[in-house]
Structure 1
Amino acid sequence: MDRVLLIEDDDIIGEMICMYLKEEGFIIHRCLNGKEGLASLHDFQPDLILLDLILPDFEGTELCNSLRSKTNVPIIIISSNSKVSEKIEAFTVGADDYLCKPFSMHEMKARIQVLLRRFKREQPIAAPPAPAREKVTVPAMELQINLEKRTLHVRGESIEMTFSEFELIRLLVEHPERVYRREDLINALRGFDSYINERAIDVHITNLRRKIEVNPKEPKFIKTVWGVGYKFVI
């Protein structure tokens, strides 16, 4: 069973989420503040994190950033703040999805399942992964992606990434020169049952450029195709 860490201090919402997810077959552990949430990463070892942005001891985005630095499991923000700027900031510090309160429990479950499916893609059991798929290397920029370990090295340096960032760079690198529309990238990250807007895609691309480009303002590898989307150039 999948393990969900809920960091939520509101008793009514917290209990509702716990009851619902338990009934749906999840193992759930609830923390009332950020300090407990950080400690539970090691003790509980969640497969996914549900994080409220308003907590008594942490600014939500600060805590999201701290969690992301310690784990690459999917993080879904739950917040009563529906401002686009707040969502963009959450994606920037490592969130993979954003749910605005009040929300449907069925929608929450659907988004959890979409992220878990993509995060925990099963490797073929009958045979080990083909060597060409285990690691993708771009000699021109000394970029190496290990698909099995979900790691990225740029010019010999290990790069920290969110789940969404890894999925994006893997997709782009595996299909160089192919132009992806923003709609294609949204579907690749979320599927058709979960929500992410075009602005969030732009934020992820900006973050990736900062991490892999020598000069992010003049990118050589992740190119913008104006009016269409993005492509990766070797």
Structure 2
Amino acid sequence: MEEKETRYKCNGKALLNALEPDKGFYYKRINRDRSVSKKYSFEAIQVFDMTVSGGPDKFYLHANIAESGATCMLRQSYEISEEDYKKFQLNKRGKYRLDLLTKASGGLIVRRKETASKRIDMRVRTSTYEQLSASAKKCNMSVTEYCRKVCEEGKVVAAFTDSEIELMTNIRQLSSHLSHYAAFLKNGIFQEMSKRDRLEYLATGESLQDYRREIKQVVTFLHKFVKLQKT
């Protein structure tokens, strides 16, 4: 039993982040309060280790769940079919394992997009705001969106500037030319030349001079690109 659970285990939170990063796990409950217009309420939870066990007649899906504000996890077990048991083992990185959790729990555990429903108002110094504004501009974001991303993900990768895009375009064009020259040296007439003719061509060939010049251009562009990344 222990061996099977270890072998067929996955982390629900990690799997959800990989497949549906904009969603979270929730308990879906029916609202008993008639004064509330919405039929269902949703309580955010975290799903950690998911394992399967059982046989030969009964099979189970187990999930370690942490409710909002809880200091410990609860281990929930749901009965599943033998077919689901086998599919859980085979579908290591697919959505099937996530779908099975919803199915096995009878729709109690669902995945849904997390909405920004809470508002935070705060005051900062002018210098702090200017720093945030400059960082947000590099990422093509508003200050609000930038701050939210930093809080949620810890780090925001800056978008490419127009200068960086231009450099990348130039590098891509030159790399196409260099690939052409490389193919010529490997498979073209160059291979049919005698050793002496090859040496003479490498020393004086006009095409090869272009080849060398474009290599220097690529190196120059790469240096500029790296320098822009550091600024």
TM-score by length of 2: 0.19
- Flag the structure with larger Rg: 2
The structure with more helix, counted as a fraction of residues = 2
TM-score by length of 1: 0.19
